[in-house]
């Protein structure tokens, strides 16, 4: 019970609370406040995907008077981590689709076409339409290309029929893959999964899709009639040893057949057979359902530009950058971010979130005639779904060390519901906030 003296005190507290709520509302509206740097530099960003868009927003907020041009021929923006959820029947195809323009800030000019040529000596970028842009600073962020032609016998129009899936190909293909997986798990048969021997984006995705197919077969009671094979391209299932061991144990527990040193060569849709190159020669594995993941390479425009490593990943063409600063090793006004960067880890959207502030710091420091020790440590993350409702939140760096964001709270190698929530609920929101330069 309160007397009237307490009443006044509580009323003051009450007003304070209301004021606090107001302040909270305001805090949500503003971005991170920082002093702006004046410059008239022209910055060209190639690619308005995860990395390019996030950088455009951050640089626009950070620089005053800079001319920022972003080049991307695709009108749609794709939230690619959502493809796995689409291919698991949990989200519709449009879950991953937005527009390129909606994420771009005022004052950043979009050239809605693809870059066709980069000349780092002349500091120019030629666009597909014929226009040539000169730059003071260039950020190369066009992602990677999926080399479907490298899989003999396969073409994208096969996806969705005859048990052929291709989760990576795009939102609509992911939805078609779900239709094929749904049909397959109704009856059972032989499912075969694999990954390419090149570097790839989200190396956990092929593993996740194997787990998800197993999960649906179990839920539908057809697991007994289903054989699941995983053909690893090397001697391990995952490049980080401690994660590899855990996945190996889980694969064993789930009853998957694992083959090592199997690299896909061709697919025969008529005979429903996959042919793999192995140290013992070509080996055929029959399939009733599969998820085709082709070799991945830097886009042609990058491979032709002379910006690629000459002695590493020669068949893939990733940009030759310092792995900590992401600055080009031969052209100091050129940076790479995202999947195209030639660094030993980091082809995930989560890595982009860590790379982008590093590029931003170095670029801004360079414009100001200053230096910075901002450094990218190789952070890469992958919520490794092990079934609908559970995942392992796996985060690691260049050293193959686990670098958990929530140490002691979310165990990295444990199948958890909270890690599933991260993937299903928090990841897209965090990604979008990152695109806006807010995360």
Ligand X SMILES: Cc1cc2nc3c(=O)[nH]c(=O)nc-3n(C[C@H](O)[C@H](O)[C@H](O)COP(=O)(O)OP(=O)(O)OC[C@H]3O[C@@H](n4cnc5c(N)ncnc54)[C@H](O)[C@@H]3O)c2cc1C
State the sign of the Cα–Cα–Cα–Cα dihedral 58, 59, 60, 64.
Answer: positive
Query: Six-digit token pair at 158?
Result: 């096969």
Give the residue, chosen from 60, 62, 114, 307, that forms a contact with ligand X under the rule CB under 6 A: 114
Does residue 74 touch ligand X according to CB under 6 A?
yes
Q: How far is the CB of 425 from another protein (least distance, A)?
A: 6
Does residue 402 touch another protein according to CB under 8 A?
no
Query: Six-digit token pair at 276?
Result: 């793999």
Give the residue, chosen from 71, 151, 250, 435, that forms a contact with ligand X under the rule CB under 6 A: 71
Does residue 382 touch ligand X according to CB under 6 A?
yes
Question: Near ligand X by CB under 6 A, which window of 24-32, 184-192, 315-323, 332-340?
Answer: 332-340
Does residue 301 touch ligand X according to CB under 6 A?
yes
Q: What are phi and psi of 223, to 5 degrees?
A: -60, -35
Of 215, 200, 199, which is closest to residue 87 (Cα–Cα)? 215
Does residue 282 touch another protein according to CB under 8 A?
no
Question: Near another protein by CB under 8 A, which window of 16-24, 146-154, 175-183, 268-276?
Answer: 16-24
Indicate the SS3 state at residue 117.
Answer: strand
Does residue 420 touch another protein according to CB under 8 A?
yes
Question: Near another protein by CB under 8 A, which window of 3-11, 68-76, 149-157, 241-249?
Answer: 3-11
Nearer to another protein, 282 or 426 (CB): 426
For the residues of 276-341, what is the DSSP string, one character each?
Answer: EEETTEEEEEE-SEEE----EE--HHHHTTT-B-SSSSTTT--B-B-TTT-BBSS-TTEEE-GGGB
**Contact track, ligand X, 208-227, x by CB under 6 A:** --------------------
Report the partner that residue 49 touches, choosing among another protein, ligand X, none (CB closer than 5 to 8 A by kind).
ligand X
Does residue 393 touch ligand X according to CB under 6 A?
no
- Give whole-number Cα distances, 427 to 200, 381, 432, in Å: 20, 11, 9
For residue 13, the Cα-to-chain-centroid distance in whole angstroms is 47
Q: How far is the CB of 214 from ligand X (least distance, A)?
A: 18
Give the residue, chosen from 57, 84, 198, 213, that forms a contact with ligand X under the rule CB under 6 A: 84
With contact defined as beta carbons under 8 Å apart, do 209 and 191 qualify?
Answer: no
Residues 6+ apart with CB under 8 A from 31: 61, 437, 438
With contact defined as beta carbons under 8 Å apart, do 286 and 272 qualify?
Answer: yes
Outline where 40-159 has alpha helix (H): 50-62, 83-86
Stated as kind and residue range, the H or E segment containing 77 is: strand 76-78
Give the residue, chosen from 143, 165, 378, 412, that forms a contact with ligand X under the rule CB under 6 A: 143
Q: Report the site for another protein in 348-367 (rule: CB under 8 A).
A: 350, 353-354, 357
**Contact track, ligand X, 343-372, x by CB under 6 A:** ----xxxx-x--------------------
Nearer to ligand X, 188 or 342 (CB): 342
For residue 226, the Cα-to-chain-centroid distance in whole angstroms is 30
Give the residue, chosen from 390, 394, 396, 412, that forms a contact with another protein under the rule CB under 8 A: 390
- Give the count of alpha carbons within 13 A of 64, CB side only: 5
Rounded Cα distance, 416 and 201, in Å: 23
Report the partner that residue 75 touches, choosing among another protein, ligand X, none (CB closer than 5 to 8 A by kind).
none
State the sign of the Cα–Cα–Cα–Cα dihedral 392, 87, 337, 149.
Answer: positive
With contact defined as beta carbons under 8 Å apart, do 321 and 328 qualify?
Answer: yes
Does residue 426 touch another protein according to CB under 8 A?
yes
Give the residue, chosen from 5, 23, 27, 235, that forms a contact with another protein under the rule CB under 8 A: 27
Rounded Cα distance, 220 and 182, in Å: 10
Does residue 292 touch ligand X according to CB under 6 A?
no
Does residue 249 touch another protein according to CB under 8 A?
no
End-to-end CA distance of the chain: 46
Report the partner that residue 80 touches, choosing among ligand X, another protein, none (CB closer than 5 to 8 A by kind).
ligand X
Residues of this chain that interact with ligand X (CB under 6 A) are 46-52, 71-74, 80-81, 83-84, 114-115, 141-143, 167-168, 201-202, 205, 299, 301, 338-340, 347-350, 352, 381-383
Residues of this chain that interact with another protein (CB under 8 A) are 1-3, 7, 10-11, 14, 17-18, 21, 24-25, 27-28, 30-32, 90, 350, 353-354, 357, 379, 387-390, 405, 409-411, 414-418, 420-421, 424-426, 428-430, 432-433, 436, 438-439
């Amino acid at each position: 019970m309160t007397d009237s003296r307490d009443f006044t005190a509580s009323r003051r507290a009450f007003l304070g609370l209301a004021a606090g709520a107001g302040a909270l509302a305001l805090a949500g509206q503003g971005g991170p406040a920082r002093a702006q740097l004046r410059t008239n530099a022209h910055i060209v960003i190639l690619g308005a995907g995860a990395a390019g868009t996030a950088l455009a927003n951050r640089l626009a907020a950070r620089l005053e008077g800079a001319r920022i041009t972003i080049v991307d021929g695709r009108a749609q923006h794709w939230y690619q981590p959502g493809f796995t959820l689409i291919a698991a029947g949990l989200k519709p195809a449009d879950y991953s689709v937005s527009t390129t323009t909606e994420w771009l800030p005022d004052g950043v000019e979009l050239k809605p076409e693809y870059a066709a040529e980069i000349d780092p000596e002349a500091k120019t970028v030629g666009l597909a339409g014929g226009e040539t842009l000169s730059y003071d600073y260039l950020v190369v962020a066009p992602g990677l290309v999926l080399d479907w032609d490298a899989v003999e016998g396969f073409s994208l129009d096969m996806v969705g029929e005859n048990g052929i899936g291709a989760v990576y190909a795009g939102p609509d293909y992911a939805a078609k893959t779900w239709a094929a997986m749904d049909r397959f798990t109704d009856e059972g048969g032989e499912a075969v999964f694999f990954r390419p021997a090149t570097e790839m984006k989200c190396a956990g995705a092929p593993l996740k899709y194997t787990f998800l197919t197993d999960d649906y077969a179990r839920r539908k009671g057809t697991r007994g009639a289903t054989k699941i094979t995983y053909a690893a391209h090397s001697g391990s299932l995952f490049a980080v040893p401690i994660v590899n061991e855990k996945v190996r144990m889980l694969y064993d527990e789930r009853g998957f057949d694992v083959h090592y040193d199997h690299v896909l060569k061709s697919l025969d849709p008529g005979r429903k057979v996959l042919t793999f190159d192995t140290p013992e020669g070509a080996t055929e594995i029959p399939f009733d359902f599969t998820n085709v993941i082709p070799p991945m390479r830097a886009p042609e425009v990058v491979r032709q530009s002379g910006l690629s490593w000459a002695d590493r990943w020669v068949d893939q063409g990733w940009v030759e950058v310092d792995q900590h600063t992401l600055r080009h090793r031969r052209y100091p006004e050129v940076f790479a971010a995202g999947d195209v960067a030639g660094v030993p880890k980091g082809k995930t959207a989560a890595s982009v979130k860590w790379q982008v502030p590093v590029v931003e710091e170095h670029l801004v420091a360079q414009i100001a005639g200053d230096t910075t020790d901002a450094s990218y440590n190789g952070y890469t993350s992958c919520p490794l779904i092990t079934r609908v409702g559970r995942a392992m939140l796996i985060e690691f760096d260049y050293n193959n060390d686990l670098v958990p964001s929530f140490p002691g709270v979310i165990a990295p190698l444990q199948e958890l519901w909270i890690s599933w929530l991260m993937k299903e609920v928090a990841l897209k929101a965090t990604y979008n906030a990152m695109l806006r330069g807010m995360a």
